[in-house]
Amino acid sequence: MKSLVILISGRGSNMQALLEAEFEMDRITVISSNPNAEGLAIAKKYGIETIILDHRTFPDRESFDATLAERIDACQPKLIALAGFMRILSDRFVHRFQGRLMNIHPSLLPAFPGLRTHARALQEGIKIHGCTVHFVTPQLDHGPIVIQAAIPVLSGDTEEILATRVLQQEHRIYPQAVRWFMEDRIKLGENHVEVMDSRVNETALYSPELPE
């Protein structure tokens, strides 16, 4: 069964990009750690089943992760996609779903793992920034990379402007990565990903192009 679980905590823009991709799915379920997440209203608009697990009602991370795992297992998903899920998952949880947990991160990993990626990129004065879809491992933001998109850092870019431009690329590559997974085109190695039957420019994007 082709079932997808999407984990969110906030606005749900990457979740919406996945829903708009119109995958051939038997079931999609959205689980939010935040009862006030804007993404819940978007999911309901699309007629998607939603589940709320308010992390603040759990005594610790382990108990939250255990309940989350039970809810996910009940959905029998082929893939679990983190889309702005603002929770650090325990090692036990990650190992339970190893190879089926995918995340989108707003930097060209392994550069700038963690938070405030755009501000840090500007502070470092880098010339190329972007986003990465990767498999989740116990080491934060260091799992095998599926696809990346790069953009130039332009003079006059602020943290907000850069975040907006990177987000546009996130909405392009996350649905692509999920589609590859659902079509069984991803071969996952120990620390690398091979996409079968893909062109080079499908797995290494550069958009928009630099002016000549």
Cβ distance 147 to 133 under 8 Å?
A: yes
The answer to whether 105 is a known catalytic residue is yes
Largest CA distance in the chain: 56
* CA angle, residues 59, 33, 120, in degrees to nearest 5: 105
Cβ distance 187 to 194 under 8 Å?
A: yes
Query: What dihedral angle (degrees, nearest 10) is formed by the CA atoms of 9, 14, 15, 17?
Result: 160
The one-letter code for the residue type at 77 is P
66: tokens are 């255990």
Cβ distance 178 to 4 under 8 Å?
A: yes
| Annotated active-site residue in 55, 95, 105, 192 | 105
Task: Name the burial class of residue 182, with classes exposed (0-12), middle (13-18) and buried (19+) by CB atoms within 10 angstroms of its CB.
Answer: middle
Q: Three-class SS of residue 128?
A: strand
Task: Say how many CA atoms lie within 13 Å of 179 toward its Cβ.
Answer: 18
Cβ distance 179 to 123 under 8 Å?
A: no
* Residues with active-site annotation: 105
